[in-house]
Structures are given as C-alpha cells and as structure tokens.
Structure 1
Amino acid sequence: MRTDDGMELKDILADWRDYDDAAFRLGIFLGVFPPDQRFNLVKKMFWVDGYPLGDMLVDLLDRMAQAGVLLKDEDDARYKWNPAPIDLS
C-alpha cells in the first residue's frame, strides 16, 4: 500500500519512532487522519486511555511487532520497520 506521495509504510517507519508518533503516522497511512493533520491536535488520543481509535492504532503496531513486521523497543516504547524478511514457515 502506498500513500498519495508514493511512500510505503516501510519507508514511513524506517527509523525508530515513539509509539504515539508511529501510531499517528500509521493512522495517516491508513487514511484515518488526513495527510495534513497536525499531531498536536490528536495527541491526546494516544496519551489518555479510553480513546478507541488511539488504542486501536497502538494495538495494531503491537500486533505487527508480534508478527515480525515491526521491531519494538520495549524500553523506550518505540517501533520501526523490521528490515529482515518475515519467516512465513
């Protein structure tokens, strides 16, 4: 999947990103937020429990990490694309 500017998710998450930034960028990639959405207007949904959309996006990051698509730095709550191929066996 590509965004209008041609970037793939693996490019967007190529470097370590804090969980809230990674979730926000995933939301933009999926079309949940418009491409010109400013993070400071939605950051509360990632920092406060009880926002289903924020919880869902972070949960999706966690699931992608469990599947080996992303790497997760537990200490700093960061994510990035796993450059190694996924073991499908």
Structure 2
Amino acid sequence: MGDSVELRDVLADWLDYDVAAFRLGVFLGVFPRDQKFSEVKRMFWMDGYPLGDLLVDLLDRMAQAGVLLKDEADARYRWNPAPIDLS
C-alpha cells in the first residue's frame, strides 16, 4: 500500500471479517506492510489473541458509527459510501 492510500480505499470492497481486520491492522501500522495474512490469520480465528479481537471490535464499532457497512450473514465489512449522519 502506498503512503497516499486511505482507509476507504483499503476497505472499499466487501471483505471477510478476518481479512478486513488484517487490512485495518496494516493500515494502522500494527502489521508491517509486507506482512502476509496467512502468517497471522490464526489470531482472528482463535480465542486468546487480544489483538485480533481488538481489530474486529474496531470494525464493529466503525459499523455501529456508520463508517462501515456490515453484512451480518456473511461476517463481511466494507466502507460505507454514504455520508455519515452526524445529527
């Protein structure tokens, strides 16, 4: 990802929760940009990995705030293209 990439670009398409959380982690600098998802995917699938839980919780909170859309049935997220209602 280049330096000018925005989070809305990173999460523009529907992504499974684990991939979305990983990409959020890369965007935030938690994981190095050259980190492979396959090397850390277990932290999103297994209990006992607070970092994985934190990143998924952050996705959920962003969805609650209207920043992201969440597909509950498939546990996927994507950027909400509609403006956030601040009222």
Check whether TM > 0.5: yes
1:8 to 3, 6, 15: 6
Aligned-residue Cα RMSD (Å) equals: 0.9
| Paired position in structure 2 for 1:62 | 60
Percent of residue pairs bearing the same amino acid type: 79
How many corresponding residue pairs?
Answer: 87
Instruction: Give unmatched runs, 5+ long, in structure 1.
Output: none
AA partner of residue 53 (structure 1)? L
Instruction: Give unmatched runs, 5+ long, in structure 2.
Output: none
Listed as ranges, the matches of 1:1-89 within 5 Å are 4-89=2-87
For the residues of structure 1 that align with 2:80 and 2:61, how far apart are their CA atoms?
13
For residue 78 of structure 2, give the secondary structure of its aligned residue in structure 1. Answer: strand
Normalising by the residue count of structure 2, what TM-score does the alignment of the two structures yield? 0.97
AA partner of residue 60 (structure 1)? L
For the residues of structure 2 that align with 1:57 and 1:66, how far apart are their CA atoms?
14
Normalising by the residue count of structure 1, what TM-score does the alignment of the two structures yield? 0.95
Which consecutive segments of 4 or more residues in structure 1 shift more than 2 A? none
Residue deviations 1:12-34 (CA, integer Å, cap 9, x gap): 10000000000000000000000
TM-superposed deviation, 1:4: 4.1
AA partner of residue 49 (structure 1)? D
